Amino acid sequence: MSSRPWLRRTRVRLTLTYVAAFAVLAAVAGVAFWLIFAHFEYATIDQALSAQARLIDSGLEVTGGHVTFGGDIPLPAQTRRGIAVTALLVNRHGVVLDGSGDAPDPQGLARAARRVHPRGVPVTLTVGGRLDRVLASRVPGSGTILVLARPIGELEHTLAETALLLVAIAAVLVAGAAALGYWVAGRALRPVRAMAAAVRDISEHDLGRRLGLDLPPGDELGELSATFDSMLARLETAFDTLRRFTADAAHELRAPLTLMRSQLEVTLRRDRSVQEYRASHEVLRAELDRLSRTAEQLLLLARADAGSLEPRRLPIDLGDFVEEVADRWGGLAERRQVRLETSDGAAGVVLGDPDLLRRCVDNLLDNALRHTPATGTVRVAVAAVGPAWTLTVSDTGPGVDPALRSTVFERFTRADAARTSGGAGLGLSLCRAIARAHGGECLLLEGDGGAEVVVRLPRTGVAG
């Protein structure tokens, strides 16, 4: 049980895998070497026996079925290279007619050789307690068999020693491979340990730190390090956005609360008339409305961030929708002496959430009317552009400060020249969130002498 945590270590598992593969290769190589070595050794002996058989065959004489060698010369007991070889002439009854050499049991060798079909193929036999390589062949014109034998006990001993030596060499190589593999695995995993230590020390207060490992280009661990750095950068951006959002939200909520507290304190300093109390309550109601709008917008944005802002799939007639929006904002436009124009350049139906889309257009119209001077014009238009419907709100106001164009859709973005000034700075952020929830987009275009905001919605309906 105590070894299991050790075996779970990547370094150990890599080493064991490497050692196992190396051991298999070493075993295959050792067996192959031993087999090739044994083959060549046996081939050398077999060649010596074949050469001796040819030498003796050339000197054999067959007379009346009787076989002699060179006129009754004894059979040679050595090859031309001085290698000792036992030679026997055996008749068809297994009787040794002639022989030479130091075979411990010539008759037993003769009987064993007769059991081997004499086709000139060497075989290994044990006769008289000795291991011999035996070659038996028939003498043409007679029933006599020529038997040649050479002891191979020394060869077998050499082969056994070679096998033990190969096993020892393989064991040493496997042990060396294990040590080398463990060291190489440690070197290869050193950046991983460095990354783990660095990431372990990073908290939400120092997300600006980076791993900064010096690894070659294209290295897998270098790619992992770069991925970690990219993730830390995204986390840092997310935390900075959250801190800024929290601070801005606290500021936006604190201002109306402070105003309401001041209003109450002033009102309660002395008794007031009914008209004075009514005026005070009107101020409080206006601030409460502002707080409610801000809280509702923050809630919608939070739902959008969490991916839980799911619009309904209802058919919306764009022409009627534009007319309804214009009617709701017509009175305010008249009071501000701004001409509100509508244009449904393309009739059609889009699938979407009427309440969310109405809130989106309300925010755009509120922003446009607030920044359009008297005698100016605000236009709401619908058109079909490619695979999307576009709902455009444009005005003839001063436009958007170029310095703020890149951040105008960020939350709480406000400046004197910004289109979001005068509110909480959440309107355009909410418009973009609603458009994206419908599978579309909200874009800011610079119009002629004003600003132009376009909401694009897919014709196929709400994105899932």
- Tens of pLDDT, residue by residue over 347-403, are 678 888 888 888 888 888 888 888 888 888 888 888 888 788 888 888 888 877 776
∠ at Cα 442 (438, 447), nearest 5°?
150
Which value, to the nearest 10 degrees, does the dihedral of the CA atoms of residues 184, 185, 187, 188 take? Answer: 110
User: Is the torsion defined by CA of 339, 395, 454, 251 positive or negative?
Assistant: negative
How many other CB atoms are found less than 10 A from the CB of residue 340? 23
Domain range for 227 is 220-305
Residues 139 and 250 occupy one common structural domain: no
Q: Which of 247, 276, 305 is the last residue of a domain?
A: 305
In a domain, residue 214? The reply is no
- Residue 210 in any domain: the answer is no
User: Are residues 332 and 229 both part of a single domain?
Assistant: no
Residues 378 and 328 in one domain: yes
Query: Does one domain contain both 406 and 320?
Result: yes
Same domain, 39 and 137: yes
Longest dimension (CA), the chain: 162
What distance in Å separates the CA atoms of residue 347 and residue 82, rounded to the nearest whole number?
A: 113
Residue 204 lies in a domain: no
Q: Are residues 328 and 368 in the same domain?
A: yes
> For residue 255, how far is the Cα from the chain centroid?
50
CATH number (domain holding residue 70)? 3.40.1840.10
Mean pLDDT by 10 residues, the chain (464 residues): 63 88 94 95 90 84 74 77 84 81 82 70 85 85 83 91 94 93 84 75 69 68 75 76 70 72 82 84 81 76 73 84 84 88 74 87 86 88 84 84 72 51 66 88 77 84 41
Calculate the alpha carbon distances from 328 to 115, 279, 321 in Å.
118, 26, 11
Number of domains into which the chain is organized: 3
- 194, part of any domain: no
Distance (Å, whole) CA 427 – CA 62: 123
Q: Which of 305, 339, 359 is the last residue of a domain?
A: 305
On whether both 36 and 82 belong to a single domain, the answer is yes
Question: How much is the pLDDT for 421?
Answer: 40
User: Are residues 321 and 449 both part of a single domain?
Assistant: yes
Residue 387 lies in a domain: yes
Q: Nearest CA to 91 among 138, 53, 128, 59?
A: 138
- CA-to-CA dists, residue 460 to 149, 178, 439, angstroms: 95, 62, 10
In a domain, 212, yes or no: no
CATH of the domain at 402: 3.30.565.10
Q: What is the pLDDT of residue 445?
A: 82
Contacts of residue 113, Cβ cutoff 8 Å, sequence gap at least 6 = 88, 90, 125, 134, 136, 145, 147, 149
Q: What is the pLDDT of residues 110-167, one digit of tens each?
A: 888 777 655 678 888 888 888 889 888 888 777 788 888 889 888 999 999 999 999 9
Angle 155-160-161 (CA atoms, 0-180°, nearest 5)?
95
DSSP letters, 155-175, are: HHHHHHHHHHHHHHHHHHHHH
Same domain? 387 vs 409: yes
List, in order, residues 6 or more apart from 371 with CB less than 8 Å away: 395, 397, 398, 419, 421, 451
Q: What CATH number did the domain enclosing 224 receive?
A: 1.10.287.130
Helices 274-305 and 427-437: crossing angle in degrees, nearest 10, is 40
Instruction: Write down which residue in 158, 184, 209 finishes a domain.
Output: 158
Pairwise CA distance, residues 146 & 130, whole Å? 20
DSSP 8-class letter at 77 = S
Compute φ and ψ for 209, nearest 5 degrees.
-70, 150
Q: What is the pLDDT of residue 448?
A: 63
Q: Are both 253 and 300 inside the same structural domain?
A: yes
Based on the fold, state whether residues 348 and 260 are members of the same structural domain.
no
Domain shared by 363 and 251, yes or no:
no
206 located within any domain: no
Strand partners, 67: 62
Does residue 397 belong to any structural domain of this protein?
Answer: yes
